[in-house]
């Protein structure tokens, strides 16, 4: 599998940046994990929308879905002039008012995400686990038969994520808040907690993401190194990682 980071900031981007969006490819199959603000623009640098086989939104916070509200025009308007396929869009169905605003001219074929109900797209099997976050949020586990990639979505510390990420070849984990800013109610992981989960889950490789734009990246890396001593990287926009 091939993972390209389309945006790695949250909950708003740094100058020239984009929020959560990750393109995962297996051969000709392409799926998009999250579609935050700025992601449509970066996605179009690497492929056409017609090539996308499915989109998965971990949750409906704006930094993970805002560009769906724009992508619906990119697909829906063109549908009047040429045959463009609807893209299957999988998301939490908790907020139906919001879900109903996401479509335009059948740009998307909308499906609800359900824990324990994996979705198969060509050679990829995609599974979901509920995370601890203020709204309905799912971690996403993708396997291609032999390799496994797990995406934490947004979450506070939870042991369920250790189990869900177990033995992943690549664990893409949010690290939205430094230890010094963490409180009991913070709905995010610190880099140190991300490292702890990765260590307990015995993952091969940890890639941190969802960076608050005001933080220094070296602080994030240093914190994660305290709790994880295998292969660790900070996600970089437009960089591709092979799983
Ligand atoms: Zn977020
Ligand atoms: Zn969130």
Q: What is the pLDDT of residues 132-152, one digit of tens each?
A: 999 999 999 999 989 999 999
CA-nearest of 138, 140, 158 to 149 is 140
Q: What is the pLDDT of residues 183-224, one digit of tens each?
A: 999 999 999 999 999 999 999 999 999 999 999 999 999 999
Domain coordinates in residue numbering, the chain? 2-242
User: Residue 86: what pLDDT?
Assistant: 94
pTM above the 0.95 mark?
yes
Which residues lie below 8 Å from residue 221, measured CB to CB, with a gap of 6+?
A: 191, 208, 232, 234
Q: Which ligand is nearest to the CA of 177?
A: 1
Which residues lie below 8 Å from residue 178, measured CB to CB, with a gap of 6+?
A: 190, 191, 215, 219, 220, 223
Fold of the domain built from segment(s) 2-242: Metallo-beta-lactamase; Chain A (3.60.15)
CA 83 to ligand 1 centroid distance, Å: 34
CA 209 to ligand 1 centroid distance, Å: 10
């Amino acid at each position: 599998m091939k993972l390209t980071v389309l945006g790695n900031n949250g909950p708003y981007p740094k100058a020239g940046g984009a929020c959560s969006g990750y393109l995962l490819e297996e051969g000709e199959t392409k799926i998009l994990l999250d579609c935050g603000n700025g992601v449509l623009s970066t996605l179009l640098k690497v492929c056409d929308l017609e090539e996308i086989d499915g989109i998965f939104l971990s949750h409906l916070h704006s930094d993970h879905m805002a560009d769906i509200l724009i992508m619906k025009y990119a697909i829906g308007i063109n549908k009047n002039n040429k045959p463009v396929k609807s893209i299957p869009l999988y998301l939490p169905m908790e907020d139906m008012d919001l879900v109903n605003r996401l479509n335009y001219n059948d740009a998307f074929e909308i499906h609800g995400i359900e824990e324990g109900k994996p979705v198969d797209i060509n050679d990829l099997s995609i599974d979901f686990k509920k995370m601890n976050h203020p709204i309905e949020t799912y971690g996403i586990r993708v396997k291609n038969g032999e390799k496994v990639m797990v995406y934490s979505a947004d979450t506070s510390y939870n042991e369920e994520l250790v189990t869900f990420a177990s033995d992943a070849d690549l664990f893409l984990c949010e690290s939205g808040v430094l230890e010094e800013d963490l409180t009991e109610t913070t709905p995010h992981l610190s880099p140190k907690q991300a490292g702890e989960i990765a260590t307990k889950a015995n993952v091969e490789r940890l890639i941190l993401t969802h960076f608050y734009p005001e933080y220094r990246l070296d602080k994030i890396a240093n914190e994660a190194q305290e709790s994880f001593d295998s292969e660790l990287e900070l996600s970089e926009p437009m960089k591709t990682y092979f799983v």
